[in-house]
Amino acid sequence: MKQSIYYLFLGTLLLLNACGSNNSQKSTQNLLNYAPGSMAQAASFDPDFEKEFVANFKVAALPYGTDTSYALQDTIPADIAIKYILEAAEKAQINAFKDVWGDTETQEMTRKGLKDRYISVENSAFAVINFGQGARLQLSQNYHSFVFHYIPTFMDGRYKYSFLANYTAEGKLIDVLPISELAQFVDMENIQTAHINKEGGIEVHTQLIRYGQMYDHPEDYEETGTQTFVIDQEGKFILQQEQYSSFSGKFLAKTDSELTAPRFLIEQLFEDTQVRYQASADSSPQEWEIIRINKEKNELVARKPGSSQDYTLSYDKAKATFVCKNSKGEKTNYTRVRD
């Protein structure tokens, strides 16, 4: 049962944790139009990296767009996926795959999922995991870019996630960005697609749909989001712009430590809005009472349990950040993050 529950959630968690380091607001100066010839002057490919990984990806033309088809033209062998994706991310301290490649137990479960070919309860095969080759994109001479797919199949269905990853010539993983998702559940679906232009600009579109019939509602509920990324000269993905349609999301206060930062988890669903607050990552969530909502001003007013003090959450136009102000006029800035 432990394995079944683990695999049910690892696919969704994997994407949600992938971009924690991509929210830094860096200067966009010198992000594009790199000096030509720099890769030619760099060290040559590691022979194993070239043979085992690079050579198996076909070059795709730009602009490049993702799709949500489950089809895989070619799968990446388990040992190659572990070596150049999972272990490479671990060595580079990239969080993209920490939920499927964390401690020893998690790694062993993932190894088994990569090698199992079909679901079998008798053999404790609760999931089958495939990494698939996508495309090689010629975005810069400073690094090498690949799109690969991750498809976990569970007893209740399968899901697909796609990533854009940049590597050095020697095969060192530089950064990873989730760019596509297809996850369908009984009551909802998550859809993510991306468009990558010739200059290396990346626009990621996210759509969350909750089926109205599952909530006794005449219409479906939908949330959308758009994130625009650029790539710096080192090959790292930089979040440049973002825009969201709803208040929903996880928001952290701007502090030195993510673990100790206060946070809000806000969820909209049809006419209802839920606000939960945590003083830190380890504290228990506390549900606040909604006093009023002003959509025209992008404001929520909420109150702690047992308190008479109101807190006003004033969002920016993009709904990417908000300022929390209490009745005394004290303010704290919060920024949207990917959980």
Question: Which domains does the chain carry?
Answer: 2-178 (no CATH), 249-337 (2.40.128)
pLDDT for res 258 = 84
Average pLDDT score over residue span 158-162: 89
pLDDT for res 33 = 31
pLDDT for res 119 = 72
For residues 25, 26, 27, 28, the Cα torsion angle rounded to the nearest 10 degrees is -90
pLDDT for res 144 = 94
Q: Using the predicted structure, report yes or no on whether residue 16 has a pLDDT greater than 60.
A: no
* More confident site: 333 or 116: 333
Cβ atoms within 10 A of the Cβ of 217, count? Answer: 14
Average pLDDT score over residue span 105-111: 92
Q: Each residue of 242-269: pLDDT tens digit?
A: 999 999 999 999 887 888 999 999 999 9
Q: Each residue of 169-218: pLDDT tens digit?
A: 899 999 999 999 999 889 999 999 999 999 899 999 999 999 999 999 99
Give CB contacts under 8 A, 24+ apart, made by 73-77: 73/132, 73/133, 74/132, 74/133, 75/130, 75/131, 75/132, 75/133, 76/130, 76/131, 76/132, 76/133, 76/148
pLDDT for res 255 = 82
pLDDT band at 158 (very low <50, low <70, confident <90, very high): confident
Cα–Cα separations (whole angstroms), residue 31 to 26, 62, 237: 10, 18, 10
Q: Using the predicted structure, report yes or no on whether residue 40 has a pLDDT greater than 50.
A: no
Looking at the chain, how many residues does it have? 339
Average pLDDT score over residue span 37-65: 76
Q: Using the predicted structure, report yes or no on whether residue 166 has a pLDDT greater than 50.
A: yes
> 18-22, 225-229, 249-253, 261-265: lowest mean pLDDT where?
18-22
Enter the pTM of the model: 0.82
Q: Each residue of 186-200: pLDDT tens digit?
A: 999 999 999 999 989
* More confident site: 330 or 73: 330
Q: Using the predicted structure, report yes or no on whether residue 140 has a pLDDT greater than 60.
A: yes
Average pLDDT score over residue span 322-330: 95
pLDDT band at 339 (very low <50, low <70, confident <90, very high): low
Phi, psi of 71 (to 5 degrees): -65, 140
The mean pLDDT of the chain is 85
Burial (CB count <10 Å: 0-12, 13-18, 19+), residue 14 = buried
pLDDT for res 210 = 96
Exposure class string for 73-96: b at 16+ Cβ within 10 A, else e? eeebebeebbbbbbebbbeeebbb
CB 20 within 8 A of CB 13: no
Peptide linkage before 63 cis (omega within 30 of 0): yes
pLDDT for res 116 = 85
pLDDT for res 43 = 43
Q: Using the predicted structure, report yes or no on whether residue 221 has a pLDDT greater than 60.
A: yes
* More confident site: 148 or 157: 148
Could you tell me what percent of the chain has a pLDDT over 70?
Answer: 85
pLDDT for res 247 = 97
